[in-house]
């Protein structure tokens, strides 16, 4: 077991009362799982991804990562866990426009204050692995959408995380590019034994899951 949620509750208060964005959500993810999280808009999918590693705090419930409870630890400790053990992939790619491909990929290593020579070495190896070694000096605007998302994936794995949290990683891509990215995520999952937890609206993307969670109105209604 690498990640477990126990009776996760996330409430938001507003003038009309209380909304349960996550309502007693419980699940267990094993190391090496490819988890797909589906459900209608507003069902709590993205909230779940944000809550698991403290980007938003729970109202109640427990989160256990790699054998340790993390919902009750400090923001600084959570930041350390995210830096060392978690990779994030977003629908919007979130590349820094004025940095080159290799510079974008090196960001997690720079945050860990790894020597620049080692940053370049590891980023070059990752870019070769994802087939973009000939685009190292290109800016994001000089890359296709599929290439930009591959750069984002490279950035998410360069620090050798235990788990990747992907929020609609194919949402801005056409069907052909979506399949390319999904196959690449599958390759990362299988070859590197990196656990993936992916939010998606796409039935095709959901089919890649070795474990499937379906949310509706903040509750898990299928797995």
Q: What is the CATH number of domain 25-57+74-222?
A: 3.40.50.300
The answer on pLDDT for 141 being more than 80 is: yes
The answer on pLDDT for 50 being more than 90 is: yes
Percent of the chain with pLDDT over 70: 99
Q: What's the mean per-residue pLDDT of the chain?
A: 94
pLDDT at 126: 94
Instruction: Write out pLDDT tens, residues 178-187.
Output: 999 999 999 9
The answer on pLDDT for 99 being more than 90 is: yes
pLDDT at 110: 87
Pull the structure tokens for residue 12.
Answer: 């938001």
pLDDT at 6: 97
The answer on pLDDT for 213 being more than 70 is: yes
Q: Residue 223 — pLDDT band, cuts 50, 70, 90?
A: low
List Cα–Cα distances, 103 to 26, 117, 120, in angstroms.
Answer: 38, 12, 8
| Closest by CA position to 177, among listed 143, 202, 201, 146 | 146
- Number of C-alpha atoms within 13 angstroms, CB side, residue 161? 29
The answer on pLDDT for 166 being more than 70 is: yes
Q: What is the mean pLDDT of residues 90-119?
A: 92
Beta strands in the chain (DSSP E): 3-14, 17-29, 34-38, 60-65, 68-69, 86-90, 163-167, 195-199, 211-216, 219-222
CA distance 133 to 151: 11
Instruction: Write out pLDDT tens, residues 67-88.
Output: 999 999 999 999 999 999 999 9
DSSP track, 170-193: TTTS-HHHHHHHHHHHHHHHHHH-
Which of helix, strand or coil describes residue 18?
strand
pLDDT at 17: 86
């Amino acid at each position: 077991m690498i990640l477990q949620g126990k009776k996760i509750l996330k409430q938001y208060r507003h003038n009309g009362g209380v909304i349960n964005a996550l309502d007693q959500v419980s699940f267990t993810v094993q190391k090496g799982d490819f988890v797909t999280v589906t459900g209608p808009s507003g069902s709590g999918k993205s909230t779940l991804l944000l809550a698991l590693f403290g980007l938003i705090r729970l109202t109640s419930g427990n989160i256990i990562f790699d054998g340790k409870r993390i919902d009750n630890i400090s923001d600084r400790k959570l930041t350390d866990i995210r830096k060392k053990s978690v990779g994030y992939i977003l629908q919007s790619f979130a590349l820094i426009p004025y940095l080159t491909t290799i510079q974008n990929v090196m960001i997690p290593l720079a945050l860990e204050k790894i020597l620049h020579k080692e940053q370049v070495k590891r980023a070059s190896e990752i870019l070769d692995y994802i087939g973009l070694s000939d685009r190292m000096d290109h800016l994001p605007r000089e890359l296709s959408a599929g290439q930009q998302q591959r750069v984002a994936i490279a950035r998410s794995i360069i620090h050798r995380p235990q788990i990747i949290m992907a929020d609609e990683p194919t949402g801005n891509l056409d069907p052909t590019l979506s399949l390319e990215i999904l196959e690449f995520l599958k390759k990362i999952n299988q070859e590197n034994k990196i656990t993936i937890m992916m939010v998606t609206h796409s039935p095709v993307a959901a089919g890649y899951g070795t474990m499937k969670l379906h949310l509706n109105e903040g509750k898990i209604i299928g797995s």
